[in-house]
Amino acid sequence: MYGAADLDALITPAPVDDPARIVTEGARAAGVLRSVDAPAVEIAPGLVAHHTPGHTPGHYVVRIAVGGQKAYLLGDAVHHPLQINDTGISFLFGRDAAQALRTREELLVRLAGHDVAVATAHFPNPRFRRVHRAHGERSWIDA
């Protein structure tokens, strides 16, 4: 699965020897690449991708829901633990910092105080966490 906006903005214009373009075109040629362009896309029962633009125009996070429990895989929506309260901290290679900030804030507000496990791709010591909210501040707590 790949965000259609990323294919158009990042992969197609990349040089032919770019590793991301080579892999993407190989997957497309093999018939295993599914391009998506919707606010939410069900990948399989209990597995839904949600469009979260900013880092890239076609970025998605993934929600897993099984047996009443939920987890989110945040991908590149959140890059650093400090972004929990300062969502204005941007990533060096983000395509649209202002959109990424809005997306990150909306996502963290939605997750705060709910019994939802969250996995981040770029934090040290990878593990599931929860977004906790107390006294007007958010924090990461172990799930």
* Residue range 114-135: mean pLDDT, rounded: 91
Give one DSSP letter per residue of the chain, joined into a string.
-EEHHHIIIIITTS-TT-HHHHHHHHHHHTT---EE-SSEEEEETTEEEEE--SSSTT-EEEEEEETTEEEEE-TTS--SGGGGT-TT---TT-S-HHHHHHHHHHHHHHHTTSSEEEE-SSSSS---EEEEEETTEEEEEE-
Mean pLDDT for the stretch of residues 36-48: 95
| Residue that wins the pLDDT comparison between 6 and 63 | 63
Give me the mean pLDDT over the 89-118 stretch. Answer: 88
Q: What is the pTM of this model?
A: 0.87
| Residue entry with tokens 């707590």 | 141
Q: What's the gap between Cα 113 and its chain centre?
A: 19
Q: How confident is the model at residue 113 (pLDDT cuts 50, 70, 90)?
A: confident
Q: Please check the confidence at residue 59 and state whether its pLDDT lies above 80.
A: yes
- Indicate whether 17 pLDDT > 80: yes
Average of per-residue pLDDT values in the chain: 90
Residue 138, pLDDT > 80, answer yes
φ and ψ at residue 49, rounded to 5 degrees: -95, 135
Provide the token pair at 111. Answer: 């997750």
Q: Identify the band that residue 74 occupies on the pLDDT scale cut at 50, 70 and 90.
A: very high
Dihedral (Cα; 126, 59, 2, 10), 10-degree rounding: -110
